[in-house]
């Protein structure tokens, strides 16, 4: 029995002896009236109980950044009688508002399909399709369309070779968050892999929130919609009157 336990500990040793420690250049992003995006440095190191074995297989680092998950309805349009109309639809229960995958090498060599299925790292695995009507065939086509559209808008990003991994110890990458950020918590996941299998994983959170005038307007619109509507109407009337007065002054 003792020999069996010793053997199990020996087999588990390499996995337990390598851990990820990481940090962020900032963990809070404030959305103001002139916010035009933010750039965050993600860095870290591999903590080991023993020095790096030069004969060991290659290690890689994968870093994902996922924005708040929101439900999305994807509709298919078809031309009927000369008019484009919505036909079938599929509901995606949790599509990240922003998603980036950065790797130190090609994605398919840094993570196996089994590990991807387990940890939901790739863009395709991070989105789950549910709620498709029974009459819909090939519901996955709708999810593929959502991914394709958001990739085109640079909301979903796959960036191999953008994690700098030095001497299998130090790593870093930069994440550029767009100007049209969704407010909420952005989950940063860091995976240390060897031969495509996850050796260790670590998580961080970036907090994104509106501040100042942006926060006041957001709260007013959601908590006091009647007052918000009246203020918007008053501002529109005031702007129209001011433009009319300025036009008369110029003509006079």
The pTM (predicted TM-score) of the whole model is 0.74
Angle (nearest 5°) at CA 77 between 136 and 100: 80
Per-residue pLDDT at 184 exceeds 70: yes
pLDDT of residue 15 exceeding 50, the answer is no
Distance, CA of 180 to chain centre: 13
Per-chain mean pLDDT for the chain: 80
pLDDT > 70? residue 61: yes
How many angstroms separate the CA atoms of 117 and 73, rounded? 24
In the three-class reduction of DSSP (H, G, I as helix; E, B as strand; rest coil), residue 62 is classed as strand
CATH number of the structural domain 2-209: 2.60.40.3880
CB atoms within 10 A of CB 52: 13
Contacts of residue 25, defined as CB under 8 A and 6 or more positions apart, other chains included, come to 40, 41, 42, 43
pLDDT at 8: 42
């Amino acid at each position: 029995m003792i020999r069996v336990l010793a053997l199990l500990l020996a087999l588990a040793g390499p996995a337990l002896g390598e851990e990820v420690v990481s940090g962020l250049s900032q963990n809070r992003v404030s959305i103001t009236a002139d916010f035009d995006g933010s750039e965050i440095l993600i860095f870290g190191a591999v903590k080991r109980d023993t020095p790096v074995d030069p004969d060991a297989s290659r290690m890689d680092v994968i870093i994902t950044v996922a924005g708040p998950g929101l439900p999305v309805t994807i509709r298919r349009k078809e031309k009927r009688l000369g008019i484009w109309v919505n036909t079938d639809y599929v509901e995606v229960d949790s599509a990240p508002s922003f998603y980036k995958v950065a790797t130190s090498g090609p994605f398919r060599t840094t993570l196996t399909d089994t590990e991807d299925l387990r940890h939901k790292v790739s863009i395709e695995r991070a989105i789950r399709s549910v709620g498709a009507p029974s009459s819909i065939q090939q519901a996955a086509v709708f999810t593929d369309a959502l991914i394709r559209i958001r990739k085109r808008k640079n909301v979903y990003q796959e960036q191999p070779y953008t994690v700098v991994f030095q001497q299998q110890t130090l790593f870093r990458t930069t994440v550029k968050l767009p100007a049209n950020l969704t407010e909420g918590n952005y989950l940063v996941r860091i995976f240390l892999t060897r031969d495509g299998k996850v050796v260790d994983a670590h998580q961080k959170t970036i907090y994104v929130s509106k501040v100042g005038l942006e926060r006041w307007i957001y709260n007013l619109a959601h908590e006091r919609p009647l007052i918000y509507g009246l203020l918007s109407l008053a501002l529109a009337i005031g702007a129209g009157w001011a433009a009319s007065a300025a036009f008369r002054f110029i003509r006079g």
